[in-house]
Amino acid sequence: MAGLLGAGVVTPAAAAAASSFTSTIYSAAIKSCVDVPGGTTDINTNLVGKTCSGAAEQRFTFTPVAGHPGTYTLINAASKECAHNYRFNVRQQSCSSPAPNPSWDEWVMLPVNASAHQYRLEPADYAGDGKYARVVGAHPAPPGYPAPILTLDLINTADPAQTFVIAGAI
């Protein structure tokens, strides 16, 4: 994993203070990186887990959302589209055509172990509401799916599927 992140690693908190940062999003639970299949620009494509390669479809630019500390849009390096929470999945959506609710394209980074670059990703429209506390979870592929999938799950701090390594390689 360290080889994928490169030598210029900074923490997301430090990078966010200055500007955007780019990183893979790694899930130890499925031993995979979040991936836009084939780097497609097709809207509503589900983001999946795939063996980490460092390819552009596995790199995301975390862009701070003004006025909302710790909140980012995630733009894929290959497709140039945004990670978008849609019902129970994480999909790709056009960044140039904002969602009816802009917070659907915004993600709050919740530290799990910041010194180890471990975070949960919570959709901004669920953040802090105490009612629909959901975060991204990475799970093995169910029957009929070609790759592990990303879903929106109720927060369970004991679930390793809800923790990702986001190292902030620039």
Q: Looking at residue 28, which CATH number applies to its domain?
A: 2.80.10.50
d(CA 46, CA 39): 12
The answer to whether residue 170 sits within a structural domain is: no
Kindly state whether residue 53 falls inside one of the protein's structural domains: yes
> Is residue 46 one of the residues assigned to a domain?
yes
Domain hosting 80: range is: 2-165
SS3 assignment, position 145: coil
Q: How many domains does the chain have?
A: 1
* Inside any domain, residue 87: yes
| Any domain includes 90 | yes
Q: Is the pLDDT of residue 87 over 80?
A: no
Q: What is the total residue count of the chain?
A: 170
pLDDT computed for residue 149 by the predictor: 80
pLDDT of residue 160 exceeding 60, the answer is: yes
| Type of residue numbered 91 | R
pLDDT at 86: 81
**CA angle at 66 for the pair 60 and 72, rounded to the nearest 5°:** 25
Residue 142 burial by Cβ neighbours in a 10 Å radius (0-12, 13-18, 19+): exposed
Residue 10 C-alpha from the chain's centroid? 17
* pLDDT of amino acid 36: 94
Tell me the pTM: 0.82
User: What is the pLDDT confidence band of residue 8, given thresholds at 50, 70 and 90?
Assistant: very low
- Determine the average pLDDT of the residues in 29-49: 91
